[in-house]
Amino acid sequence: MTLLNAYLEGVGLLGPGVTNWPQGLAILAGQAPYQQQKTVLSPPASLPPAERRRASPGVMAALQVGLEACAMAGVHPADPASVFASSGGDGRICHAICSALASGDTMISPTQFHNSVHNAISGYWGIAAGAMTPSSVVSAYDGSFSAGLLEAMTLLVSEQRPVLLIACDSDYPQPLYDARPVPDTFAVALLLTATPHPGKTIAQLRFCGDDLFTDSAVQAMDDIALEALRQSIPAARCLPLLQAIARSEAGRIVLDYVNPPHLAVDVAPCS
Amino acid sequence: MPPVLVSRFTATSCIGRGLDQTFAALLDRQSGLKQCAFQGIDINTWVGEVDAVDDEEMEPDLQDFNCRNNRLAQLALRQDGFAEAVDAAASRWGRKRIGVFLGTSTAGILQTEWAFRRRDPVSGCLPADFVYAATHSPYSLSDFIRRKLRLEGPAMSVSSACSSSAKALASAKRMLDAGLIDAAVVGGVDSLCATTLYGFHSLGLLADGPCRPFSDDRKGISLGEAAAYLLLERMPDSPDGDAVLLLGVGESSDAYHMSSPHPEGLGARIAMEQALSSAGLSPASIDYINLHGTATLNNDSSEAKAVVGVFGATTPCSSTKGATGHTLGAAGALEAVICAIAIQHDLMPAGPEAGQRDTTTGIQYLMSNQRQRVSHILSNSFGFGGSNCSLVFGRST
């Protein structure tokens, strides 16, 4: 029984050695080799200068993939409701604030403080996109992408508009890195609609009631380097789903969630 | 979408452990705020600290979760038979059919603050007993409560600053509406820490005395800490006569500024209108509004503009933050529980005495408690990043 149904019309991708979705698609489809490199971040032109200067790696990456997915779908960035999924807040800001407090410096910078909130990316997206739509900000450790996908699929039912899911995590500096070893920035955006649009819809995503929350094994990536990426950055736990989409494969993809259960997504190509 | 049953609820804040103490404090218009003496923090401000949080002891297999936020979460979970009610729901629905969706803004970041003070002087390493996943991570709260309650369904934390736990209720309602679950443990827990105290201080937003929402001499926020839980369940065919229901949710984004509200309250207005529409109610059918009401100059005036824009000038309203302080990510759930108390006890709480109200706001701010039947309540929660959420509660008859 299908409980929830969505149509994927736009994808954005940025990560170590991947600069956008077309490149990611070629790598995941096996048409181009994957070479791991440091994630290349660009200051977002969509933000006013003051906010642009304050943009963290997570904000830069999230805005880039969100705009890429909206452009691909032909959706104005102000229109979709949004879901931001992230394992944790900005590790660099946390490091700066905790270091200052430990040294007795209690004058926290106001900018650092408001950028320290877990929903900073959602706030910057709203300002950049002019989006006054509902925006959910969720976290489930290594299962944050799946938590975001669940939130996006249910939001799609309640909102009469497309939903943009952005999952993003960025690196933690030492000494936090030892406790939470996230090495680099990875961001993915999926633009979902409730009804298909011929010529635009890439894939159908379905949640089926009988086995949505499953104990079946999580799918790993065949490529060793891509599997290492999947395991090292929480947002990259989406890679098995993106691979099925890139290869136009139909089937059930099992993703990391709150382990247990895992999350089973049925995917089918639409073009 | 159909209403959702609020089958059990509880809250612990500086005004009390559990419902009886919370109701008594609201009835007596008490405040739990005191001059800040929290862990040597040197700010001239008042806070709503919960007593004896650090006396809580963790079970042996949950030692990794030992931090003030989870200790507060555990203390609150013991009140009002909440955990027992969840057990009963689990036998009705199954442990895999109950979700856990909790809001927090800072989770156990206090633990990380202390870990940074205990870095190894040579290597710079954090102490070996620091467990990021079970304390600092936003998900640590939901993970902890899910383990405590032995639930096996979906789970996540919602972390959208001061709207977090209101939005956790909204997410849970969507999951129930979609049929993915039959029940959900929702709520919020946030605890005092240096990051938020010094952070709000650096923004110049802390009052130097007890906060005075919507007073004409309001000077800012008093921070507090709280844990509040609600058990949401699929609507039964014949709910009890006095059952509390979650009728509607509304959410929006300001798209304006990271730490200042939209000056005309535009985002807040959209959230309230959406919540009414989702509940199928007109503004006139709301008996009482529990305001976000943080007591900063700008927050209260922009919220008042939004309220007047949607409701006009006659709907009774108040903020209960003068009693509890602003409990950040727990505020939405704490105030949802206050709304449930208001419905069950026919009470519109005015909050502690706070002198002359700001008459320029144009809202019908309660100057004293009103005891009368309360059928429909709207509750507001707004946060940094322009995150807005309004909830509508009602009764089954």
Q: Is A124 on the interface with B (CB under 8 A)?
A: yes
Q: Name the pLDDT band for A139 (thresholds 50, 70, 90).
A: very high
Q: Is A88 on the interface with B (CB under 8 A)?
A: yes
In a domain? residue A196: yes
The nearest alpha carbon in chain A to B135 belongs to: A179
Residues 11-50 of A with CB under 8 A from B: none
Q: Is A208 on the interface with B (CB under 8 A)?
A: no
What's chain B's Rg over C-alpha atoms?
Answer: 20
Q: In terms of DSSP H, where are the helices of chain A?
A: 21-28, 49-54, 57-73, 91-102, 110-115, 120-129, 144-158, 176-179, 224-232, 239-246
In a domain? residue A78: yes
Say which residue, A89 or B23, is predicted with more confidence: B23
Residue A32's domain spans which residues? 7-200
Residue A125: what pLDDT? 96
Put simply, the answer to whether B158 touches A115 (Cβ < 8 Å) is no
Query: B342 to each of B168, B186, B290, B377, how far by Cα in Å?
Result: 21, 19, 10, 9
pLDDT higher than 90, residue B271: yes
In a domain? residue A209: no
Contact residues on chain A for B42, CB-CB shorter than 8 A: 106
In a domain? residue A117: yes
CATH architecture of the domain covering B4-395: 3-Layer(aba) Sandwich (3.40)
Put simply, the answer to whether A132 touches B253 (Cβ < 8 Å) is yes
Q: How many independent structural domains does chain A possess? A: 1
Q: Name the pLDDT band for A49 (thresholds 50, 70, 90).
A: confident
In a domain? residue A211: no
Residue B242: what pLDDT? 85
What's the whole-number mean pLDDT along residues B134-156? Answer: 98
Task: Please tell me the distance in Å from A56's CA to the nearest CA on chain B.
Answer: 14
What's the whole-number mean pLDDT along residues A163-187? Answer: 97
pLDDT higher than 90, residue A45: no
Q: Is A104 on the interface with B (CB under 8 A)?
A: no
CB contact at 8 A, B351 and B233: no
Q: How far apart are CA B254 and CA B50, in angstroms?
A: 32
Number of cross-chain residue pairs from A and B with Cβ atoms under 8 Å apart: 229
| CATH number, residue A124 | 3.40.47.10
Put simply, the answer to whether A106 touches B198 (Cβ < 8 Å) is yes
Task: Please tell me the distance in Å from B249's CA to the nearest CA on chain A.
Answer: 10
CB contact at 8 A, A165 and A190: yes
Contact residues on chain B for A122, CB-CB shorter than 8 A: 160, 253, 385, 387
Residue A48: what pLDDT? 85
Q: Name the pLDDT band for B259 (thresholds 50, 70, 90).
A: confident
Task: Please tell me the distance in Å from B91's CA to the nearest CA on chain A.
Answer: 19
Q: How far apart are CA B29 and CA B368, in angstroms?
A: 9
Task: State ipTM.
Answer: 0.98
Least CB–CB distance from A154: residue in B96, B133, B178: B178
Put simply, the answer to whether A132 touches B139 (Cβ < 8 Å) is no
Put simply, the answer to whether B252 touches A102 (Cβ < 8 Å) is no
Which tens digits make up the pLDDT trace of B298-329?
A: 999 999 999 999 999 999 999 999 999 999 99
Which tens digits make up the pLDDT trace of B328-383?
A: 999 999 999 999 999 999 999 999 999 899 999 999 999 999 999 999 999 999 99
Which residues lie below 8 Å from residue A132, measured CB to CB, with a gap of 6+? A78, A126, B252, B253, B254, B255, B266, B267, B270
pTM of the model: 0.98
Which tens digits make up the pLDDT trace of A114-138?
A: 999 999 999 999 999 999 999 999 9
Which tens digits make up the pLDDT trace of B149-179?
A: 999 999 999 999 999 999 999 999 999 999 9
Task: Please tell me the distance in Å from B394's CA to the nearest CA on chain A.
Answer: 20
Which of A2, A59, A139 is the best mutation test for B, with the most CBs of B within 10 A? A139
What's the whole-number mean pLDDT along residues B123-129? Answer: 97
Task: Please tell me the distance in Å from B350's CA to the nearest CA on chain A.
Answer: 30
A73's tokens: 């779908």
Average pLDDT along chain A = 96
In a domain? residue A208: no
Instruction: Spell out the domain ranges in chain B.
Output: 4-395
Least CB–CB distance from B386: residue in A123, A139, A174: A123
**Residues of B designated catalytic:** 162, 292, 326
Q: What angle (nearest 5°) sits at the alpha carbon of residue B59, between those of residues B58 and B64?
A: 65
Least CB–CB distance from B198: residue in A108, A124, A144: A108
pLDDT higher than 90, residue A47: no
Contact residues on chain A for B1, CB-CB shorter than 8 A: 158
Q: How many other CB atoms sit within 10 Å of the CB of residue A266?
A: 18
